[in-house]
Structure formats: structure tokens, C-alpha cells
Amino acid sequence: MPQARLFDTHAHFFTADTDRYPIDVTGAREGEEAVRARIAANPATPATLIPLWDRLGVTGGAAVQYNTVYKTDNSYALAVGDAHPDRLATVLILHAADPATPAKLRSLAAAHNVCGLRLFGYPDAAGEYPWLDSPAALDTWAVADELGLRMVLMYAPGVASAAALGRIIALAKRFPSTPICLDHCGWPAVDKGDEGTIGAEHLSLLYVPNVHFKVTQINFNRFAETGIDSARFVRRMVDTYGIDRVMWGSDYGNTKNSYEEMVEHAVAATALLTDAERAKLLHDNGRALFASRQPARA
């Protein structure tokens, strides 16, 4: 297998400089004290990651706002993207249903190196996801569409949801020129064996070409825990949706594997692809969607 180039569509950044960039770790899944200790001991910064990129063949990536640490205060992710436009662009997190969000999104995208908007949320008491497509949220989608931003979606909890994916399909059809990327592949099944990873919920996305899939270290770790072959999964994704709709992201800053392990697992998961397919999944597709549109500073 030739040396792979990669583009990381899913890197989270945070700094130990909490005076300049205050944190909000309320509700953190691993526990608030544990997150605070991790921030202090092992910050995830460009100074740490970019040298690893240079050594491992990663040409660039997306600085995805880290909800666990900063919620919707995008200050640090914006600073990272603005400081490294040759390697990074920022994916914001905002509350789509907040009436102030459309104007805020327009202002941030005009002033900073922003390539996308990430929406995150849980189902309501009825198991529905109105934060995706409420009337107020549709105003946010319209601004993102107008500005040519990518919409990155992560619905919780981490299982495939027909309710969420049904709304996403409707949004994709309403905004056909907006690329929509599902974090962690929209949660493929891990409890139905190797052949059951792509269930009926995901197959409903088959003919929605502007929906794309980010396969990440979270997926690889779940597969390892449940005996699913990552390479067979990736081959199945490519055969199902086409090579142009699948890309890699590390989940750096959140998943605890070393970055070297993340790259190793990503490359290994492409073992059943052709060289041309591997190049698209590991690098070209992600770069086409998330590379900075701003020139590097002189």
C-alpha cells in the first residue's frame, strides 16, 4: 500500500489558557473534573497537532468546535482557523433554533475563516429532533446555504435514528446545493454483526447525493469492541453510496487514541479500496469540502 495523504475533517481543539478562552464543561460525559484535568494536562492545540500532520502526511483539516469544552462559544476554534488558513478552517457550533443565530452566523462567516456549521442535539420527549428543522432553524439553514457553508450534523445518542435521518433527508432535498456531513457516519449499527452495520435507516439516504459520511475513530473503536471489520465496513460504505460521499476524520481532542494510532487505523480501514478510492476517502473528498477558502498569510 503506497504512503497515504490524509485530510482530517474532524479535529477538536482546546487550550489550557482558560483565562483567555473560558471553558464550560457542564454535562461532560466523562465528568467535569476529568475534562478539566485533561485540558490542563494535555491541551489539543495546533502547536501539538500540526507537527504530527507534517510527519504523518496530513495536509490539513477542519477545526470543529468542541461542544464538550466550549459549548457554543466558538472563540478558540475561530482563533485556530484564523491563525492557520493554510492548513485549517473552522466549523462552528451554534443553536440553530435561536432567532439570533442567522445574523450571528453571517457575521462570523464574514469576519473569520469559517467553512461550516455543526448542529448538535438530543431527541425531545417524543423521540423527535425539531432542533434540526424548526421554522427558526430553517432560517439558519437558509443563511448557511446562501453563504456556501457545509452543514455538519451530530444527533445523539449514538445510535441510528429514523426520526433524525428522515428530517435530514428532507433538509437535504430542501437545500440540494448544501453539502451535509454526518458525523461518525450517522451512527452505523454495532449490534447486528458485520453485515448489519448499514441498516434500513441509513439506506434511506441512498439517493440523497448531498449527504456525506465522516468515518471517524469513534466508529473504528466501536467496531473493534464489537468484532466488526473496519475495512469491510468502509468497502461496504463505498459500494453503497459511492466513493465521493465518504471521508475520514480523526476525532482528535476527544477520542483518547494517539494521533498516530488514528492515522494507522484510518489507513488500515481502506485496505479493501483501490489506490484511487483510498486517496479520495482519506484526502480528496474532505479537502474538497472543508479546506480553507482564505489565502495563507504572507
Q: What is the pLDDT of residues 136-167, one digit of tens each?
A: 999 999 999 999 999 999 999 999 999 999 99
What integer pLDDT is reported at residue 205 of this predicted model? 98
**What is the layout of strands, in order, in the sheet containing 114-121?**
6-11, 58-64, 88-93, 114-121, 150-155, 180-182, 211-216, 246-249
Residue 295 maps to a domain: no
Average pLDDT over residues 92-98: 94
What's the number of domains the chain is made of?
1
Name the amino acid, one letter, at 46: P
Residue 1 maps to a domain: no
Average pLDDT over residues 58-79: 98
Cell of 37: 484535568
**Helix (H) or strand (E) segment spanning residue 71:** none
Cell of 77: 476554534
**Residues of the chain above pLDDT 70, percent:** 98
Cell of 36: 478539566
What integer pLDDT is reported at residue 20 of this predicted model? 98
Cβ atoms 11, 254 nearer than 8 A: no
Residue 194 maps to a domain: yes
d(Cα 154, Cα 56) in Å, to the nearest integer? 27
Q: With H, G, I as helix, E, B as strand and everything else as coil, classify residue 91.
A: strand
Mean pLDDT for all residues in the chain: 96
Q: How far is residue 260 from each of residues 21, 52, 78, 110, measured CA to CA in Å?
A: 28, 8, 25, 35
d(Cα 190, Cα 223) in Å, to the nearest integer? 7
In DSSP terms, 248 is beta-bridged to 215
107: Cα separation from own chain's centroid? 22
d(Cα 252, Cα 240) in Å, to the nearest integer? 27
d(Cα 32, Cα 186) in Å, to the nearest integer? 26
What integer pLDDT is reported at residue 259 of this predicted model? 98
**Where residue 298 falls among pLDDT bands split at 50, 70, 90?**
very low
What integer pLDDT is reported at residue 219 of this predicted model? 98
Question: What is the CATH classification number for the domain harbouring 148?
Answer: 3.20.20.140
Residue 125 maps to a domain: yes
Average pLDDT over residues 63-79: 98
**Where residue 293 falls among pLDDT bands split at 50, 70, 90?**
confident
Cβ atoms 210, 245 nearer than 8 A: no
Q: With H, G, I as helix, E, B as strand and everything else as coil, classify residue 44.
A: strand
Full residue range of the structural domain in which residue 75 is found: 6-290
Residue 184 maps to a domain: yes
Residue for cell digits 482558560?
18
d(Cα 211, Cα 177) in Å, to the nearest integer? 10
Q: How far is residue 139 from each of residues 119, 171, 175, 211, measured CA to CA in Å?
A: 14, 12, 12, 20
**Where residue 3 falls among pLDDT bands split at 50, 70, 90?**
confident
For residues 297 and 223, the model is more confident at: 223
Residue 297 maps to a domain: no
Q: What are phi and psi of 78, to 5 degrees?
A: -65, -40
